[in-house]
Amino acid sequence: MSRSLPAAADADTFDRSCAHWSVDGREGMDNFYTYATVDYRHLAGLIDWTALMASLSKQTGVLQLADIACGSGKFPAALIEHTTLPELTSAEGKSIQVLYDLLDPSTFAIEEAAAVLKAPFIERDHYCCRLQDWQPKPSTYDLCWATHALYCVPAEEMNECLSILKAGMSADGIGVVAQSNRSGHYIRFYEHFLDSIHGGNGTRFSAAEDVDEAAGNVGFERQSRTLNYETVIDENDRQALESYLQRCAFDDSIALDEMLNSATLGQYLASTKKQGAYRFQQSVDVVVFGNDLSTFNFWMQDE
């Protein structure tokens, strides 16, 4: 979707998000990822992705994967850079191919994500739609993931989305969702943003707790771990701070000064300012789900 960024008053959460995933939103996207790429590096180190994918390939040499709301491909890029996935092989030493399907409501995002894929990832099918509208081939995917990707799915639609994933996953398939929990910056900031800027109106971001509850509701077993870390931006780098926060809200129309001086949002931002920097406390739950997790032992850290 390549279109002009709408003003905050003209669009709700999902539409503003789609507008940011466009050629027009590239500058804001790039500025945001100056700081947000660390989200994916932490995730890359949480699970032994190489061992997990080798296990899921079942010695066939092929694994089918769906990247849900793929964004610009920062997660597969982090895996390629920070893990041993480029040398992914079976127990017999044979190379494993990961057939990689991309789903996103933005064609721009799909093209961006596809461009970063390298071995063992092999670009396959594109699905330009919302997760709610996806009709995957039944019992297809060995692995599905959505990494910081489901915030704009309304909480009341999460059960439907997890049901769609369940239908598309193989009997032994694994799903992984990484999402800020309600204590984390992404959720807390957007709550204050809607309350202070929009008078409490607008669709709230979904949190990791919504995903976990929905996964249980559709019959999945679940395991989870929590990643806690800081995103730090120098208080004097106002342009970087403004760009980062605008992207957190998918809204380029609200200037930094307005955010800093807006009721509870301003109070929240002031509370994060320490030792010459804004220190945003990230708390991200990584929820693993499947029909049977009795043999899932691929965490790289204990609970």
pLDDT in tens, 246-298: 999 999 899 999 999 998 999 999 999 999 999 999 999 999 999 999 999 99
Distance CA(279)–CA(272), nearest Å, equals 5
pLDDT score recorded for residue 130: 96
User: Does residue 194 sit in helix, strand or coil?
Assistant: helix
Residue 90: which pLDDT band, with cuts at 50, 70 and 90?
confident
- Tens of pLDDT along 16-66? 777 765 666 666 666 676 777 899 999 999 999 999 999 999 878 899 999
Distance CA(96)–CA(53), nearest Å, equals 9
Distance CA(210)–CA(151), nearest Å, equals 10
Q: Which of 208, 153, 145, 149 is nearest to 176 (CA)?
A: 145
User: Does residue 205 sit in helix, strand or coil?
Assistant: coil
Chain center to CA of 100: 16
pLDDT score recorded for residue 13: 77
Portion of the chain with pLDDT greater than 70, in percent? 91
Q: How far is CA 82 from CA 2, 47, 121, 152, in A?
A: 32, 12, 15, 28
Burial of 224 (0-12, 13-18, 19+ CB in 10 A): middle
How confident is the model over 87-97, as a mean pLDDT? 86
Distance CA(234)–CA(47), nearest Å, equals 31
Distance CA(77)–CA(145), nearest Å, equals 14
3 pLDDT higher than 60: no
153 pLDDT higher than 90: yes
Burial call 232-256: b when 16+ CB within 10 Å, e when fewer: ebeeeeeebbbbbbbbbbbbbbbeb
Q: Under CATH, domain 10-290 is a member of which superfamily?
A: Vaccinia Virus protein VP39 (3.40.50.150)
Residue ranges per structural domain of the chain: 10-290
Chain center to CA of 131: 13
Q: How many residues does the chain have?
A: 303
Residue with tokens 């789900």: 289
DSSP 155: G
209 pLDDT higher than 90: yes
By the 8 A CB rule, do 115 and 77 touch?
Answer: no
User: Does residue 119 sit in helix, strand or coil?
Assistant: coil
Residue 9: which pLDDT band, with cuts at 50, 70 and 90?
very low
CA geometry: angle 211, 213, 218, nearest 5 deg: 95
User: Taking each helix axis from N to C terminus, what angle separates 26-44 and 74-82, rounded to the nearest 10 degrees?
Assistant: 40
Distance CA(227)–CA(180), nearest Å, equals 9
1 pLDDT higher than 60: no
How confident is the model over 86-101, as a mean pLDDT? 89
Rg of the chain taking only CA atoms, in angstroms = 19
